[in-house]
Structure formats: structure tokens, C-alpha cells
Structure 1
Amino acid sequence: MARDLKPHIGIFGRRNVGKSSFINALTGADVAIVSEVAGTTTDPVKKSMEILGVGPAIIIDTAGIDDSGELGDKRVAKTLDVIKQIDCAILLIADNTFDESDEKLVQSFEKLDIAYMIVYNKSDVDPLRNSTIKEIQEYTNAPIVEFSAKTNFNIEGVVETLRCSIPETAYQKPSLFKGMIQRGDVMLLITSIDSEAPEGRLILPQVMAIRDILDNDAINIVVKETELEMFLKNSGIKPKMVITDSQAFKIVNKIVPSNVPLTGFSVVYARMRGPFEEYLKGVKKIPELKNGDRILILESCTHQVSCDDIGRFKIPGWLKEFTQKQLEFDVVSGLDEIKKPITDYALVIQCGSCMITRKQVFSRLSDAIEAGIPVTNYGLTIAWMNGLYDRAIAPFTS
């Protein structure tokens, strides 16, 4: 879960305000290309690095918000899309200018509830004027820090303001089972091995669940669904809880006694990483789907597609069979742009989200939730279609 322990910090601003020089000064290393030519940074670039006084972080260097032309418009769109991925933003300005493009960024930060600060760069060339401060303060209450990437003037002030601006939630270690299990509890994990399982290892949600159980001083037992019945019969062990691969819900439900809590990996992640209450409401819209409805499947990672792919093939097939409706599906991987208007969709189904942060999940789904489009996730969808919804959510709602 180290991915969540690193705050995601986006660097924004107009072309040639010194974003790349700022990153180099912030990290104390030449990690970004510096050029006098405006627009050198063309696409968002992620860098994992150590910031003195802050610690490990993911820095995202973006193209200038004032880029122009057809290609420039695309770069600006990508820059704005980065806002959905971050915990904190740094808006760089220079030349005592705070214009419409900067205002547009501030609006985007505030709409998505992103913490942000303003850094006035190149103060060695043109010091920050009181009139500029007043102009900015008429528009935002964000902290303003004067700085020079060339001379490193006030780097301490920049770092301290950044440290105070990053939300505490960006540092918090998430736990799948904290408060649900105690030292010595036996947790039984059911892991399916199919064509999507990586050769010689488990998939990330299973690995993270195992580690989380160990961190909570509990005991892991891991079996495939094909050995589950034999294990329970021969061992006589009654686990505190059974966590299964969602695809095996139906068969596992028949085997695990009704007095043993049962849920899925994806449902556990829905509780930790996503808007769980929205997911619970959204899944109940499945029976209301109509012929011609379009459904958006959101994967949090990119991977090689197989005929066993859960998001691209299995869930669409199961939904068509369950609803007996002619449904249309779009799949968007990673944090790629959603091409169609969100209002084109009758339902959005998010994966377990093991590869992205909680903040990224909420930002990813914010447009749908704001527009009143039902959202849910893989595990809850599968549980609903198998008639196991109540059992799957019982560990988190009872």
C-alpha cells in the first residue's frame, strides 16, 4: 500500500513561469528539463521523488495552461485532467501576472476540493507587488509564497507551506480490515487462478489483503475455491471471515456456512477506496436498466486483455444475461479521459481500485455523482447478480 503513502502533488501554471526549474529546486536535483523556450513540457510527467522536509511524493509536471492551437488545447485538457489525480496543487505564477488561465485552475482546484498554494516565481527578476497580492486575494484565500528557482530564495517557506497544505489523508496508511478483526483471528482468503492471474504470483488485491491481515496481527489461510470445501471439512477451522474473489461468489456461498461472514476482495476495496454509500445505492439500479442503456466500466489499471477479462467481457456478459436487456458498454482504463458525456450513461461500474488512490477514485467518479448517474463497483455488481448482496455487505453494515 506504499502507493497511498506518497502524496500526489501537481505543478501547474502558464508556459514559461518556471515549473520545471521549480521542481528541480524543490527536489534538489535536475529531474525536469529546463528551457527558455515556452512549452517545453508538453504532456504531464509523473516523477516519484523525495522532497526535503516533506518526504516521498509523486510530482506531476504539467504543460502550460495557456497553451494554444489545436495541439495546445489537447495539452491543456490533459493538464486539467491531472487535477483529478492529485492530493495537492502548486500554482506557479510570475511577472506579477494572475490572469484568466490561473483563475481557471483555481476554479478547478476548488471544484474538486483540492488543497492548493500559489508560488510567485522569478522574484529575483521582478519582486511580488502588493497590488498583485491584492488582486489574487480578491479571487482566492490560498497561501501565496514568494520564491526564486534561480537563487533558491525562500525555499524553506515554500516547503513549509507545502507541508501544511498537503491533506493529512494523503499520509494516512489505509487498512482494509482495521476495526473488523483482532489479533489471532483466522481470515480465509479464496483466490481464483485463471488466465488473468499473473504467472507465479497473486494479483495485487490478494497480496494487499494478506499484508493488511498480517499488519492487524491476524492469521491468513489462502486456498483456491476448488479446495475450499475439503479444507473446511478436514481442518474443522471456523474462520472469522471469508474473503473471496468476486467471480467465485456463487460457488463459495454454497460452501461457507451462513454463520460465517463472507464478502469479496472488491467489496472490501469499495469500502476503503471508494464512495461506499454511493456504491450501495448505485448497484440497486441494475434491475432498472433498459434496452439501449449504456454502461461505463472503469478499470484502474491497464493490462493485457484476455477472454476472461472481468471488466471487458465477464461483467458485460453477466449483466446482459441477468437483465435480459440489450446493453451497450464502454471501458476506460487507468485514468484515461472519458470521451463521452457522463450523462450518456445509465450506470458507472468502477473496479476495485487497487492501483489508484482514494482521492483519485472520488475525483474519477465526481462528475457522475454530481450528475445523478448511479455508480457502483465490480464486487457489489457481481454480488447483486448472484443474489448475495446482503451477505456481501453484512460485515460492513451490521
Structure 2
Amino acid sequence: MSNKAPRGVRLVITLAGRRNAGKSSLINAIVDQDISIVSDQPGTTTDAVAKHYELLPLGPVTFYDTAGLDDSGELGELRIKATQKVLWRSDVAIVVIGEEGITNYEKNIISEICELKIPFITLFNKNDLRPPSTEDISYCHENNFPFLEVSATNSFNIQEIKNAIIDLAPDEMKRDPVLAGDLFSEGDWVVCVVPIDLSAPKGRLILPQVQVLREVLDYNAVAVTIKEHEIEKALQNLNSKPALVITDSQVVLSVANDVPDEIPLTTFSTLFARYKGDLPSLIKGADAIDTLEDGDIVLIGEACSHHPVEDDIGRVKIPHWVRQYTGKDINFETYSGHDFPTDLERYKLVVHCGACMLNRTEMLRRINECKRRNVPITNYGVAISKVQGVLERIIAPFNL
């Protein structure tokens, strides 16, 4: 079951430490499966290895086994950077200490984890071979760092590791997250306007639409799914006014014209802006569209890599709408996947996708990094509603 949960709603737990500290053995012990290759030879794990697991009561989680922090050579540096990228999207970190104890490698990664504000625990592994030194215990106590003595070999304190992860998990992961469920009640009609998205695989809806439809059913409301040209007929056929209309952002203007003002209206992407990020900040970021000038560079941030279609939303439609709205000759650059530019100051604005393939931690970190660099950030749905002149109506259901 855990493999079927969307990647973007999983708790991400990353194990970091030096080579041969026992990270792979610990993951195998935690999930009770031989997932990661285990060897006494240092450097067995070269790239981050993901393992999906059901950790109740948190539900589906992903453990990442990473390359050693003391990896050497040019290739080793690349592996260490890959480990740091995984940390960027981690909800919980586990620092694994081997027989050598806490050295500068561990202190540096702990410092980086603290800077990223990731909750973490230190595990003194191989307790069966060497207990932690008095100095290492004092270091954890003095800095108020939680720690456990464990052994992957004899499964000592493995259950305690799971309990610690549950305690460290963000509060939002301990409760059922809400996309739109607070905007309607049991028995209400919810109309979902779903034009066929050419970027979606044949026979499927895109993930935000699927998740919203599932939530409507979970909340015992009634979902009506239509295309954009069927709105008037659908509203006439309903025996009561819908509690909410949710539309794909690409047709938000025409839908806003067809849905009476007294019916609450928003977009799938705006719901995800709240679900995965910080909606007020993304709304504020959209104001920067009004300040764009000729030659400015706008970053289009895509959470997933995909083959762009002819009328791609991020690479074609949004640039066209923004240029049309501003009347300016604006340059657009696209960044895809889990990487995020280090030179954010080059950009006058970041327009990010709905982040359905990112977890909330990574999306918030991107938002906060933009804030730190004084670069406004918004998202697809908010930006489109802004340039189409319907943003105030789209955000009205949230009572911001």
C-alpha cells in the first residue's frame, strides 16, 4: 500500500554519516528487509537509495540511504553533493555515528541540518562493538541533541528508532492534511472542472485533480467532474447550489465568467499552493508581476521533469500570459526536478508549479530560500489568476 501513496505526501527520512557507519544496515533493520547493499568495504552506497515503508501512525514514508560524508575524490564530492540535495527535501534526518565516534564530518552535517531546521536524531551505531565515548555523549547533552545507542547487527533499539522518528515528524504529518475539505461539508456538491491536460499520461488525470476528487469522496460530499464547456448545463441540473467549484487554472477566466459570483470558486493549483506551501506568501509574490520590466528574467520552477508538449503550461502559456499582461519583453528560464538554482538573485520572480511531486518541506524550503534572497515567489495557479484578473475571487474561499 505504501508504494501507491503519492511521492509528494510521503514523510522523507534521510540517513547521513560517514562511509561504513552502518547506514545501509540500519535501514535494512528498520524496514526488516534487505534493501540496501551491506558490505564492510567503505563506500558501498554511491547514490541515494530510496525505500518506501509504512510507518504507523505516520503512514507511508521514504527512507533515503546516502553516500558517506567522507567520500573522497572528484566522484566522492559529487556523491556528497547528492546527499546534501536529499537533505533539502527531508522531513527528518538521522545522523549515523560509526566506531570512530563524532568527528568534524558529523559536526559539519549536524550544523547543516540545524541550519536547514530539520529535526534529527543521532544514532551511535555498532553499540555491540563499541559504546559511544563519554566525550560524544557530552557533546550531545551540551547541545541538547537527541541520541540513541543502537545496533543494526543485533537489532538493539530498532523500535526506539521508529518511535523517535514518529516523535520528530512535523505536526502536519501526524494529522490528515486537508486540500479542500474545510471548504465544504458532508453531502455538499463540489464541481470539478477538468479540461483534458495534454501533459497527463493517456487515460489519466493529473495528480492534483485525483487527490481532490479522492478527498471529496473521503469527506462524504458529491463530486461532479465536467469539462469547461459543460458548466452552465451542470449547474442547471444540480438540485442545489454547489458549495465549491474547483477549476484547472488554464481555463480559470472562462470558468469564472460562467460560474455565478455567489458560488465559491478556486483552482486546483491554488489549493496545492496552500497544501504544499505558504499561500499568503505566494499571493504576495504575484504582486511582483506588476513590477516586471523589459529584459527581466523570470524563473519557471518545475518539480518534475517531463517532455514538454506544444502548448506547455509552464514553458509556453504562462510566459505568453505574463508578457501579454505586462506588455514587457520578459525572459523566462525553466528549472526542473529536485534541483533549485543557487543564483536566485538573477531572477526578478520565481513562478513555481503546484509542487504535487514535492513534499511540503521541500516546497517551504524553496519559498524560504527565495525570501532570504529577496526574490518574490508565486505559483502557477496564483500567477495565472493574477494575470487573468480573477485572483481576488479565486482566493476568497480561504478568508485570508
Distance 2:240 2:32 in 1: 55
Mark the runs of 5 or more structure 2 residues left unpaired by the alignment. none
Partner of 2:340: 338
Mark the runs of 5 or more structure 1 residues left unpaired by the alignment. none
Distance 1:143 1:340 in 2: 31
Partner of 1:292: 295
Amino acid at match of 1:381: A
Partner of 1:355: 357
Distance 2:214 2:57 in 1: 29
1:55 deviates by 5.9
**Structure 1 contact 182–216 (Cα < 8 Å) conserved:** yes
Q: Which shows bigger deviation, 384-393 or 149-158?
A: 149-158
Amino acid at match of 1:302: S
Partner of 1:57: 61
The Cα offsets for residues 279-337 of structure 1, whole Å up to 9 and x where unpaired, read as 011001101012222212122223221012111211122212222222222222231x2
Distance 1:54 1:188 in 2: 31
Partner of 1:265: 268
Partner of 2:92: 88
Distance 2:239 2:156 in 1: 68
Where in structure 2 are the equivalents of 1:22-41 lying within 5 Å? 22-41=26-45
Amino acid at match of 1:239: P
Number of equivalent positions:
396
**What TM-score do you get using the length of structure 1 for normalisation?**
0.93
Distance 2:56 2:251 in 1: 47
**Structure 2 contact 197–206 (Cα < 8 Å) conserved:** no
The verdict on how the C-alpha distance between 1:214 and 1:55 changes in structure 2, with shifts beyond 3 A counting, is closer
Distance 1:260 1:326 in 2: 37
Q: Identity over aligned residues, as a percent?
A: 39
Q: 3-state SS of the aligned residue for 1:239? A: coil
Where in structure 2 are the equivalents of 1:301-320 lying within 5 Å? 301-320=304-323
**What TM-score do you get using the length of structure 2 for normalisation?**
0.93
Distance 2:273 2:141 in 1: 39
Q: 3-state SS of the aligned residue for 2:252? A: helix
Distance 1:160 1:120 in 2: 16
Amino acid at match of 2:299: L
Amino acid at match of 2:277: G
The verdict on how the C-alpha distance between 1:384 and 1:66 changes in structure 2, with shifts beyond 3 A counting, is same
Amino acid at match of 1:396: F
Check if 1:126 corresponds to 2:130: yes
Match of 1:16 among 17, 20, 23: 20
Distance 2:99 2:321 in 1: 58
Partner of 1:275: 278
Where in structure 2 are the equivalents of 1:123-272 lying within 5 Å? 123-138=127-142, 140-233=143-236, 235=238, 237-272=240-275
The verdict on how the C-alpha distance between 1:189 and 1:120 changes in structure 2, with shifts beyond 3 A counting, is same
**Structure 1 contact 242–263 (Cα < 8 Å) conserved:** yes
